[in-house]
Amino acid sequence: MLEIHNINNRIHYIKYCLIAFTILFSLTGLSLVIIGSTINAVFAEFSFFLESKYFTPAVFLYSVGFVVFGISVIGLIGALKENTVIITTYGILLGVIFVLQVATGISSTMILLKSPMYDQLKTKLALVFSQYDSNEQYKIHLDALQAGVGCCGVSSPNDWNRHILPLSCCAKLNVDGTCSTTFQRGCLQVLDYVVDDVGSILGSSAYILALMQLAGAFFALYLGNSLRRQKLAKECRRWILRNELLNGIEKDEFPTKKIVAKLTINGITHDIFNRENTIG
């Protein structure tokens, strides 16, 4: 009975380890949702100047985060029920999530860091700048960009030399409403920095969390296999104890007697039959 007690302790230990890991795994899902949503919100501020493809990695990242929550529920159910099939499925799904996050990291690198993003931003900003006076929508978006991120012109404030400098370029206004200090950075430089920086954060986050989930996949499969072995050992031990108990009952209920048959030939006695018979 002591051995079964030890096996039960090991099973409970594995179970609680798996529950703790599943909770940690769900936190990585929360991290994915927060990172993806934050980056998407940053890009949304510049959506007029960015192509829709730049939003894809962030959207994909927080979508994976929600999937991670769903998988965490599966892992938690498997741990609570001590179901090795569910736990194994959980480990396999973690492996799938690893692949998806590596894909997110690669897409972030290819779309945000390796694509001709700089030239696309430059073309878009130049178009908006050239039609600033004639297109009210362009004027609104460029003013919002310049005032919002502290930039002026496409490359520098010198771009406005042939135009009236808009107040959105002004870093400090005088009492009379004139501008004493202008923003010195061009909007192309700022946008390029934001997208490049966000792309690096997005890719790094995806790779780091992917490695954590790969380790988690191996850990879940290992714990599932350990749990399976312990449950098998427990069942085997129960089977052995049951048989020992049944054999002991049979011996107590049906005692045996020794039967000996002898034959005497020429004065010499020989045992010709010697066995134990069950009485009853």
- Rounded mean pLDDT, 73-90: 82
- For 207-246, the pLDDT digits (tens) are 887 787 787 778 777 777 777 777 777 777 777 777 777 7
For residues 82 and 128, membership in a common domain is answered with no
d(CA 72, CA 29): 9
Supply the range of the domain harboring residue 150: 119-189
For residues 176 and 43, membership in a common domain is answered with no
Residue 149 lies in a domain: yes
Q: What is the pLDDT of residue 50?
A: 80
- For 88-135, the pLDDT digits (tens) are 888 888 888 888 878 877 776 676 655 577 788 888 898 998 888 889
- Rounded mean pLDDT, 14-32: 82
Q: What is the pLDDT of residue 45?
A: 81
For residues 180 and 231, membership in a common domain is answered with no
Number of domains in the chain: 2
For residues 164 and 63, membership in a common domain is answered with no
Q: What is the pLDDT of residue 225?
A: 78
- Rounded mean pLDDT, 22-29: 83
Q: Please say if the pLDDT value at position 261 is more than 50.
A: no
For residues 173 and 98, membership in a common domain is answered with no
Residue 262 lies in a domain: no
For residues 175 and 212, membership in a common domain is answered with no
At 267, give phi and psi (nearest 5°).
80, 0
For residues 74 and 107, membership in a common domain is answered with yes
pTM above 0.85, yes or no: no
For residues 158 and 111, membership in a common domain is answered with no
For residues 90 and 206, membership in a common domain is answered with yes
pLDDT band at 276 (very low <50, low <70, confident <90, very high): very low
Q: What is the pLDDT of residue 29?
A: 83
Residue 124 lies in a domain: yes
d(CA 196, CA 274): 95
CATH number at residue 123: 1.10.1450.10
Best-predicted range by mean pLDDT (18-32, 98-112, 200-214, 247-261): 18-32
pLDDT band at 7 (very low <50, low <70, confident <90, very high): low
- For 146-202, the pLDDT digits (tens) are 888 888 988 888 888 877 888 888 888 777 777 778 888 999 888 888 878 877 777
d(CA 195, CA 205): 15
Q: Please say if the pLDDT value at position 273 is more than 70.
A: no
For residues 29 and 102, membership in a common domain is answered with yes
For residues 8 and 89, membership in a common domain is answered with yes
Residue 132 lies in a domain: yes
Q: Please say if the pLDDT value at position 23 is more than 50.
A: yes
